[in-house]
Amino acid sequence: MSMTIIEKILARASGQQHVAPGDVVVCEVDMTVLIDLQFATKWPPPRRIADPDRLAIVMDHAVPAPSIADADGGVVARAFAQEFGVERFFDVGRHGICHQVIAENALARPGEILACTDSHTCAAGAYNTAARGLGPVEIYSIMCTGQTWFQVAPTIRYELVGTLPELISGKDVFLHIAGTYGDATNHSLELGGEGLATIPMNDRRTIATQGAEISADFTTFPADERCLAFLAERAPQADLEPVDPDPDARYADVREVDLSALEPYVARPGGVADNAHPVSELESVAVNQCFIGSCANGQLEDLAIAASVLDGRRVADGVRLIVTPASQAVYAEALRRGYLETLADAGAVITNSTCGACFGYHMGLLGAGEVCLTASTRNFRGRMGSPDAEIYMGSPATVAASAVAGRITDPRGVLA
């Protein structure tokens, strides 16, 4: 039927045999995720909602509450969850950044549609889910009606070949794509090919998360064996229906990426599109703050590589390293495995799980004139604090190695 993954999911969800770019479809949404900020201002109490079992609430952006307004939002969220019987309520202590919580609890499943009030909801595309961020009022509307509309965008296919080298992460794959091909506004992305099997699930989620940074609509991966094993661990009873692209699917463009040839990349401040470079080109840049966290890079594997880089080393004088686990579960597991001890001994500050520093809201803002290297989602001007700070972006390994050196550094030289 000549459809890409996202076209097939949207066709099924809207009861169509076939959809093509330009079509507008109305879909039932399988899972809708509300976040704490949505409750913190002007939450009109709903009279009825579509289905509490297709709803989740995650406290993530401003936890533990850094202001009275955020604390008041928590009060509203808890009352709402109780009144409407929302069982998937991830309150402070069993919380995490929503996209991590979605993954840990298998709320995103192959072939399904997931909507959430955060632009990085495309993260769940790693699980073969049609997932995207929508504005607060639209998420509220879906909560009430159970539906929304999408316009089918043309799909760009990334055909992955070769093997992902050691110390090269999903962040590097994404930065290579963003730096080489620029933005993908009003397009969806699909990644696949024989090289995909060499990319772990955490790295796939990093890539899917960052689809938003090149303005893509949806970013989807196929549900291969590795993906299905990941989901089976978290939802053993689930009846999963993976969606593969048709052999004759029509793409706006097909671009081959040779994973074997990739190296560490760093994006210069301002954005990632047409703005990422091999780390070797930026190694003279001195840094004041290094950050490892967010939905993109606060995963257990990200903390593991940071700990291995920092084991027996120290964060350089004059540099702050902030590490934010993506969820309470990641925090606890990193604690059990000793990663947090290693990081703390090296001089890193470990925070509770939150979106905090990534969006310049709390726990790690930048002052004027400061330079940050971040393994998080976004490096817009002013994103993490002062508009007069500079935010570079790299992988957790690159950030950890740079924190030790005090300047942007290739991690392969440190862990060689």
Partner 1 sequence: MSGVIEGRAWVFGNSVDTDNMYPGYAMKLPVEEAARHVFYALRPGWTEQVRPGDVVVAGRNFGIGSSRPVAELFRLLGVAALVAEEFNSLFLRNSINYGLPAVTIPGVTAAVTDGQDVTLDIADATLTPLPGGQPVAGSPLPGFVLDILAQGGLMPKLVADGYVAGATGAAGHPAG
DSSP 331-390: HHHHHHTTHHHHHHHTTPEEPPSSSGGGGTSSSSPBPTT-EEEEESS---TTTTB-TTSE
Cα–Cα distance measured from residue 307 to residue 351, given in angstroms and rounded to the nearest whole number: 15
Picking from 129, 132, 134, 152, the residue whose alpha carbon sits closest to that of residue 25 is: 152
CB of 367 to partner 1, least distance (A): 13
CB of 236 to partner 1, least distance (A): 31
CB of 365 to partner 1, least distance (A): 8
Note whether 374 and 269 are within 8 A (CB). Answer: no
Helices (H), 53-153: 68-84, 98-104, 136-145
> What CA–CA distances, in Å, run from 301 to 28, 292, 295, 315, 391?
34, 11, 12, 20, 23
* Choice between 41 and 82, CB closer to partner 1: 41
Note whether 271 and 286 are within 8 A (CB). Answer: no
* Choice between 287 and 366, CB closer to partner 1: 366
CB of 84 to partner 1, least distance (A): 12
* Choice between 296 and 399, CB closer to partner 1: 296
CB of 20 to partner 1, least distance (A): 16
For residue 296, give every residue at least 6 positions away whose Cβ sits within 8 Å of its Cβ, in sequence order, or none: 120, 123, 171, 205, 206, 209, 210, 375, 376, 377
* Choice between 143 and 279, CB closer to partner 1: 143
* Choice between 109 and 132, CB closer to partner 1: 132
Evaluate the omega torsion of the peptide bond into residue 64 and state whether it is cis, within 30 degrees of 0: yes
CB of 177 to partner 1, least distance (A): 16
Helices (H), 219-375: 225-234, 294-297, 300-310, 328-336, 339-345
Cα–Cα distance measured from residue 358 to residue 277, given in angstroms and rounded to the nearest whole number: 21
Q: Which residues bind partner 1 (CB under 8 A)?
A: 24, 35, 37-49, 61, 67, 69, 73, 117-120, 132-141, 144-145, 149, 151, 153, 183, 185-186, 212-213, 215, 217, 271, 273, 355, 358-361, 378, 380-385, 387
CB of 117 to partner 1, least distance (A): 5
* Choice between 73 and 110, CB closer to partner 1: 73
* Choice between 172 and 213, CB closer to partner 1: 213
CB of 297 to partner 1, least distance (A): 14
Cα–Cα distance measured from residue 413 to residue 66, given in angstroms and rounded to the nearest whole number: 39
* Choice between 182 and 193, CB closer to partner 1: 182
**Cβ neighbours, 10 Å, residue 199:** 24
